[in-house]
A and B are shown apart, each in its own frame.
Chain A
Amino acid sequence: MIKVENLCFEYPGVRALDDVSFTVEKGSVVALVGPNGAGKTTLLHCLAALDQPLSGVIYLDGDDITQYPRMTHRKTGYLPDFFGLYEDLTVERCLRYHACAHGIEADKVEHAVQQAAERLDISDRMQVRAKELSRGLRQRLAIAQAIVHEPPLLLLDEPASGLDPEARHSLATLFLGLRDLGLTLIVSSHILTELEAYSTHMLVMRQGKIISQDVIHGHESSVASCQLRLKLASDFPELDSVLKNIDGISAVQIDDQADVWQASFSFSCDKTLQHNLLKQLIESHVPIASFAEEKRDMHAAYLDKMQEIHHV
């Protein structure tokens, strides 16, 4: 759905995005994580066609968004970090305005408004002014405004900031619902435990660069790579060479320090390919005791990435 190639963005004297390239598949929920100042908000701005990059290309459904920014605006919903509402308008009028502003036909506006309100569970507050809503409800209204035109892509910048745990939980439930509706979401956040509940991919940024793009467990697709862990029943000194000779295996790490021989490596998430790999290992007489995907939570994965970078 999104393909970013060699994207560079510069503020005077500061390179905010540095040769950023990645792809986002349709229907995925990408957690955009990284320390403050990593370039997450700038990247979201570029993806929303609100800022023009210095160089590079962003394709949305095959179209270059710098050439067709208005097409991007129609296809995208965006919730900025510091969002604003029309405080003196009622919830109903806020949604109605956004529906009309996004070009929804007059006879379909009512339905769009009701649907967005129901999805965000604010339909009982339609006649309440925006300024009278609580923080959590304001957030819901802002998201409802962003999705009222049912965009295939939704960009959210720190959507859970300032929300209490209960509101965060319901936000996570909402994003799962949107994901099930087929929307593609890119969510920038610091709260990794929340992201884990609904994200399928994690994009880690640091100093304007993408330092990794990983699949989060349980959301593997046929093209993504997974971390696999192999435990052996007995010593097997040839393990390293066996693994390295198999196509598709990378980043092999052998641990023979403890009593149990173990190996960790990257391989396709495709279950058939994993089955074939297991068969191949058994045929190579590897004394396999267990063969499983390594389940690491997002927080641990993120910290590992950051540590790797620091070591480099």
Chain B
Amino acid sequence: MFNPEFRRNLWLEITPHRLIGMPLVLGAMFLLACLLNDQEWGQGVANLALTLCGLISMLWGASLAAESILSEVRSHTWENQRMSAMSAWDMSWGKLLGATIYSWYGAAICLLVYLTSADKPFPVVIKVMLLFVLCGLFSQSIALVASLQILKKDRSVARSQATVYAVFGLMAAAPLLQLAFNQRISAAWYGITIDYMDFILISLVFYVAWAWVGIYHAMRSELQMQHGIWGWTLFVVWLMGYLMGFVDDTLVMRWGGVGSSRLLVACLVALLLTYLMIFVESKDPVIFLRLKTMFEQRNWQQISRTLPCWFITLLFAFMICMALAFVFPVGKGFESSLFFVALYLFVLRDVCIILWVNFSQQRKRADITAVLYLIVLYGLLPSITHATGLDILDIFFFPQGEGNAFMGTCIVAVQFVIVLWFAKKRWQSNYGVTTAVHE
């Protein structure tokens, strides 16, 4: 067999007892469904088959995918795997398809039952089956990439339950399943009208492909292989391009212009990804020490390999915010171009808050603490000021598009400088001294 990891998983997952057990259990359930539906092998059984297929592939399969990494770390076999000669790609697909093989066995039985019982035209049945296969793959891929990414940040998470990551996978895939079953006939994307189900299926193929790229990159990191910024950069650009295609006439009317509306969508993507990745990625102070050393050595190639993804997305956000500041039409709720400058400064302030908390010597719950601070800043304090009728104080908490734009921008700039100073000071006092000694 060409992939040792896949074969090892087959040895462990596929046993004669399990091969017999799955069809027996599922068969009993379908028989019961058939009996309860007037002994009819029809849509009732088909619905159960789809539900079971979804649960088996998207929830259980995702849990198995995450467990394929977590169990290796827990049982101290992960170092051996990292020391093997397997390529990152072989390791990725060996785990993704090998660890989940038994869930696919169950899902395949369910899909076969669906094929024979569904009361729908054949092309629709095939598309629904494809939809479930892709959703299962997507959910499992997200669970695997999430476990790899979070493991990179903190090895102790290996003790956590794989179900947590399965929920991540389910949360990513289930909305697509829901979208696929709504009653829309067609989707409009960049003005092109496409059959709705086809569009969901094509989108899913891309989602799965990007999730695999994510797994591959995370696996390369685990194997100590270096990679540049291109993978992440391309993903950000693709996601922006993909979502910009949904800008329709309603948004164009509201935001005045196709170009600016699409830029606004791109801005939203950059900001959301920045926040997502800064929480997902490790903010180990040693990375910053390493970057500092590389910067002093002007080692740009190594810097590009070490830069965190959130930083790259932050650069995207900067470029887009500045572009929006120039091109966004006045009178569409953002009367001043300073709104986008202020927006970006708020993001920078938040990044510095998150880093400041992470530069503490007690870093165990740093990200949760940072989330709490952000909730206080964006939720609690503005609510208090609103409740007391001091709406004017909003300029401290949100970027201002009207009236107080200049003042608001100045205030957030001051906030940013103060938090940056605190973050820098904390890093120097907790981690900067040892660097100085050995430089």
Q: Which residue of A lies closest to B74 (CB)?
A: A84
Q: Which residue of A lies closest to B358 (CB)?
A: A12
User: Chain A residues near B93 (CB, 8 Å)?
Assistant: none
Q: Is the CB of A12 within 8 A of B79?
A: no
Distance of A88 from chain B, by nearest CB (Å): 6
Distance of A73 from chain B, by nearest CB (Å): 5
Q: Which of B83, B85, B430 contacts A78 (CB 8 A)?
A: B83
Known A-B contacts A13-B361, A89-B8; the reply to A54 vs B293 at CB < 8 A is yes
User: Chain B residues near A76 (CB, 8 Å)?
Assistant: 83
Q: Which of the listed residues A19, A85, A100 has the most CB atoms from chain B within 10 Å of its own CB?
A: A100
Is B12 at the interface (CB under 8 A from chain A)? yes
Is B77 at the interface (CB under 8 A from chain A)? yes
Q: Is the CB of B76 within 8 A of A101?
A: no
Distance of A62 from chain B, by nearest CB (Å): 19
Within the assembled complex, what's the spacing in Å between the Cα atoms of A246 and B355?
Answer: 60
Is B178 at the interface (CB under 8 A from chain A)? no
Within the assembled complex, what's the spacing in Å between the Cα atoms of A103 and B4?
Answer: 9
Distance of A187 from chain B, by nearest CB (Å): 17
User: Chain B residues near A48 (CB, 8 Å)?
Assistant: 79, 83
Within the assembled complex, what's the spacing in Å between the Cα atoms of A54 and B297?
Answer: 13
Distance of B289 from chain A, by nearest CB (Å): 6
User: Chain B residues near A51 (CB, 8 Å)?
Assistant: 224
Within the assembled complex, what's the spacing in Å between the Cα atoms of A177 and B72?
Answer: 31
Is B225 at the interface (CB under 8 A from chain A)? yes
Q: Is the CB of B5 within 8 A of A50?
A: no
Q: Is the CB of A101 within 8 A of B224?
A: no
Q: Which residue of B lies closest to A9 (CB)?
A: B286
Q: Is the CB of B289 within 8 A of A10?
A: yes
Residues 75-105 of A contacting B (Cβ, < 8 Å): 76-78, 80, 82-89, 93, 97-98, 100-103
Q: Is the CB of B86 within 8 A of A84?
A: no
Q: Is the CB of A70 within 8 A of B289?
A: no
Q: Which of the listed residues A15, A55, A78, A82 has the most CB atoms from chain B within 10 Å of its own CB?
A: A55
Q: Which of B7, B225, B363, B434 contacts A97 (CB 8 A)?
A: B7
User: Chain B residues near A49 (CB, 8 Å)?
Assistant: 224
Main SS at interface, chain B: helix
Q: Which of the listed residues A15, A49, A86, A93 has the most CB atoms from chain B within 10 Å of its own CB?
A: A86
Q: Which residue of A lies closest to B8 (CB)?
A: A97
Q: Which of the listed residues B83, B224, B285 has the most CB atoms from chain A within 10 Å of its own CB?
A: B83
Known A-B contacts A13-B431, A86-B77; the reply to A50 vs B83 at CB < 8 A is yes
User: Chain B residues near A84 (CB, 8 Å)?
Assistant: 72, 75-78, 80
User: Chain A residues near B81 (CB, 8 Å)?
Assistant: 101
Q: Is the CB of B12 within 8 A of A89?
A: yes
Q: Is the CB of B8 within 8 A of A86?
A: yes
Chain B window 46-90, contacts with chain A (Cβ cutoff 8 Å), 1 for yes, 0 for no:
000000000000000000000000001001111111111110000
User: Chain B residues near A78 (CB, 8 Å)?
Assistant: 79-80, 83
Is A8 at the interface (CB under 8 A from chain B)? yes
Is A74 at the interface (CB under 8 A from chain B)? yes
Q: Which residue of B lies closest to A149 (CB)?
A: B85
Known A-B contacts A50-B224, A100-B7; the reply to A12 vs B363 at CB < 8 A is yes
Q: Is the CB of B438 within 8 A of A83?
A: no
Is B230 at the interface (CB under 8 A from chain A)? no
User: Chain A residues near B431 (CB, 8 Å)?
Assistant: 12-13
Known A-B contacts A50-B83, A50-B224; the reply to A89 vs B286 at CB < 8 A is no
Is B122 at the interface (CB under 8 A from chain A)? no
Within the assembled complex, what's the spacing in Å between the Cα atoms of A83 and B293?
Answer: 34
Q: Is the CB of A101 within 8 A of B79?
A: no
User: Chain A residues near B434 (CB, 8 Å)?
Assistant: 10, 13, 15
Distance of B153 from chain A, by nearest CB (Å): 13
Is B227 at the interface (CB under 8 A from chain A)? no
Known A-B contacts A55-B438, A89-B12, A101-B5; the reply to A80 vs B79 at CB < 8 A is yes
Within the assembled complex, what's the spacing in Å between the Cα atoms of A6 and B12?
Answer: 44
Q: Is the CB of A80 within 8 A of B76?
A: yes
Is A115 at the interface (CB under 8 A from chain B)? no
Within the assembled complex, what's the spacing in Å between the Cα atoms of A83 and B75?
Answer: 8
Q: List 13 A-B contacts (CB under 8 A).
A: A12-B284, A15-B434, A50-B224, A51-B224, A54-B293, A83-B79, A84-B77, A86-B12, A86-B77, A93-B8, A100-B7, A103-B85, A146-B80
Q: A89-B12, A101-B5 are in contact. List 13 more A-B contacts (CB 8 A).
A: A13-B285, A15-B434, A18-B438, A19-B438, A48-B83, A50-B83, A80-B79, A84-B76, A84-B80, A85-B75, A86-B12, A100-B4, A101-B84
Q: Shortest 9 CB-CB distances between A and B: which pairs?
A: A84-B76, A100-B4, A69-B224, A103-B85, A101-B84, A84-B77, A84-B75, A101-B4, A73-B83
